[in-house]
């Protein structure tokens, strides 16, 4: 007897050592309610489903492990055994016969929550629900640097309390009026001896084909609830404005269909001065057009005419772009200076083969601001310098220099 017990322990030891704590696996506390356990399973089973992680064996293993953890913790008797004896106790319980009706196929368990065949809508015979589209706006800085964040939407989800049955006790009866079809055929008399058959929704079951004696207290028998759901949003460097990101089978859920896709339209939000110190940079006011960035720099009359100035522009990632003019270099109003490789990073999907990184250009437009008025002394000095230069160079005929034809030539 002792030898058999020792052999059993030796066989169970590798399983016990490798198994992850069920509560940690589902990301819940040991005092979690049944509803919290179901909610954790719904979230993780979708995250690690093999259809969403093709070729990823670790995700498949996680999917199976999450199903195992759920089946144990959602069952009152098995949870009590697990809390007292751990994985070894559950293995002995299973070897001893366990509980009848226990699920072993993780895909069957998944289909109980989400309908269909246990897979994400790849079977043509399955009815598919509508897609859901949302618009998310992010600052230009996030398109330049890339960012991983989260967003939350409210959607229709299958009720975790009743697992989409709508029944508090899990018992659902076929409607005896329509026979489960949800439709009935009625005869209408059009004229003496002339009748017409009309197909309409069954009033007894509301077209569901089933009757529930004890409705679920959470969903009220509707099988679905409205609840918030959080998703990861990964903005890649250089992503174009208006790009569409598709989250497979994350739209409204129902036991009657396979969920459609959640489609996110990613847009650039208008520039505004942020509250964080790091956001209060020149880059807040960059404008984007394709792969290029545009910036408007203001110069005084002296700077535009005389030169001898330097500007340090703080870019979207914090690095400095320097533009300048030497003394005597004139900048004409509305001149545009193109600074290579200081524009937007080019999205990796648009890069040529063999190129790992590339950037567009930064276009700096110079706006010259003239003074509203000049001090009398400054005006006299300025006028004297101007007249001296004009006399030395000779009279300038702007009409002649413009190249326009004279009036008598017209």
Domain ranges for the chain: 18-98+105-113, 147-235+249-263, 285-409
Residue from 126, 124, 122, 89 nearest 12 by CA: 89
Q: What is the CATH number of domain 147-235+249-263?
A: 2.10.230.10
- 145-183 confidence digits (pLDDT tens): 999 999 999 999 888 888 788 888 877 788 877 877 777
- Between helix 2-18 and helix 76-95 the angle, nearest 10°, is 130
- 73-89 confidence digits (pLDDT tens): 888 889 888 888 888 88
Q: Beta 362-369 vs 336-339: how paired, if at all?
A: antiparallel
Mean pLDDT of the chain: 82
Read off the tokens for 363.
């276009």
322, pLDDT greater than 80: yes
Q: What is the CATH number of domain 18-98+105-113?
A: 1.10.287.110
Classify domain 285-409 at the CATH topology level. HSP40/DNAj peptide-binding domain (2.60.260)
Taking the chain, what is the end-to-end CA distance rounded to the nearest angstrom?
122
Confirm if 29 and 23 have CB atoms less than 8 A apart: yes
How many residues does the structure list for the chain? 410
Query: Which residue did the predictor score with more confidence, 362 or 13?
Result: 362
**Stretch (H or E) spanning 24:** helix 22-26
- pLDDT band with cut points at 50, 70 and 90 for residue 97: low
One fold for 18-98+105-113 and 147-235+249-263:
no
Residue from 356, 324, 358, 360 nearest 342 by CA: 360
**Stretch (H or E) spanning 36:** helix 34-47
**Percentage, residues of the chain above pLDDT 70:** 81
- What does each C-alpha distance from 182 to 66, 254, 255, 312, 355 come to in angstroms? 36, 17, 15, 72, 60
- pLDDT band with cut points at 50, 70 and 90 for residue 143: very high
132: phi then psi, degrees, rounded to nearest 5: -120, 135
- What does each C-alpha distance from 185 to 175, 181, 234 come to in angstroms? 15, 11, 52
Q: Per-residue pLDDT averaged across 226-247, rounded?
A: 93
**Stretch (H or E) spanning 268:** strand 262-268
DSSP notation for 63-98: HHHHHHHHHHHTSHHHHHHHHHHHHHHHHHHHHTT-
pTM of the model: 0.70
Q: Per-residue pLDDT averaged across 271-276, rounded?
A: 70
216, pLDDT greater than 70: yes
- What does each C-alpha distance from 14 to 9, 20, 118 come to in angstroms? 9, 12, 30
pLDDT at 330: 93
């Amino acid at each position: 007897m002792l030898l058999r017990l020792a052999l059993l322990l030796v066989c169970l030891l590798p399983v016990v050592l490798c198994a992850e704590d069920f509560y940690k696996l589902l990301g819940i506390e040991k005092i979690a309610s049944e509803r919290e356990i179901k909610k954790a399973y719904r979230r993780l089973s979708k995250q690690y489903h093999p259809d969403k992680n093709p070729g990823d064996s670790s995700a498949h293993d996680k999917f199976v492990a999450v199903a195992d953890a759920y089946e144990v913790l959602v069952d009152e008797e098995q949870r009590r055994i697990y809390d007292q004896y751990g994985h070894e106790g559950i293995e002995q319980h299973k070897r001893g016969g366990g509980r009848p009706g226990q699920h072993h196929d993780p895909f069957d368990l998944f289909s109980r929550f989400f309908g269909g065949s246990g897979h994400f809508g790849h079977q043509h015979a399955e009815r598919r629900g509508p897609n859901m589209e949302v618009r998310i706006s992010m600052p230009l800085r996030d398109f330049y640097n890339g960012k991983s964040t989260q967003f939350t939407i409210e959607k229709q989800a299958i009720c975790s309390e009743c697992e989409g049955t709508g029944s508090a006790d899990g018992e659902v009866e076929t409607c005896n009026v329509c026979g489960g079809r949800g439709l009935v055929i009625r005869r209408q008399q059009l004229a003496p001896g002339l009748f017409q058959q009309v197909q309409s929704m069954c009033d007894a079951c509301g077209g569901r084909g089933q009757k529930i004696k004890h409705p679920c207290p959470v969903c009220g028998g509707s099988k679905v609830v409205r609840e918030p759901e959080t998703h990861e949003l990964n903005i890649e460097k250089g992503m174009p404005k208006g790009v569409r990101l598709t989250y497979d089978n994350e739209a409204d859920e129902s036991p009657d269909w396979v969920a459609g896709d959640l489609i996110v339209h990613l847009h650039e939000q208008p520039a505004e001065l942020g509250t964080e110190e790091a956001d209060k940079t020149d880059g807040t006011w960059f404008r984007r057009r394709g792969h290029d960035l545009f910036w408007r720099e203001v110069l005084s009359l002296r700077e535009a005419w005389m030169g001898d100035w330097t500007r340090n522009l703080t870019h979207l990632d914090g690095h400095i772009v320097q533009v300048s003019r030497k003394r005597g270099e004139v900048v004409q109003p509305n001149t545009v200076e193109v600074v290579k490789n200081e524009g937007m990073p080019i999205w990796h999907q648009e890069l040529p083969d063999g190129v790992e990184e590339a950037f567009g250009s930064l276009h700096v437009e110079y706006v010259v601001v003239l003074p509203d008025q000049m001090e009398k002394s400054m005006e006299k000095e300025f006028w004297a310098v101007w007249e001296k230069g004009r006399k030395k160079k000779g009279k300038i005929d702007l009409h002649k220099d413009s190249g326009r034809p004279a009036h008598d030539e017209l």
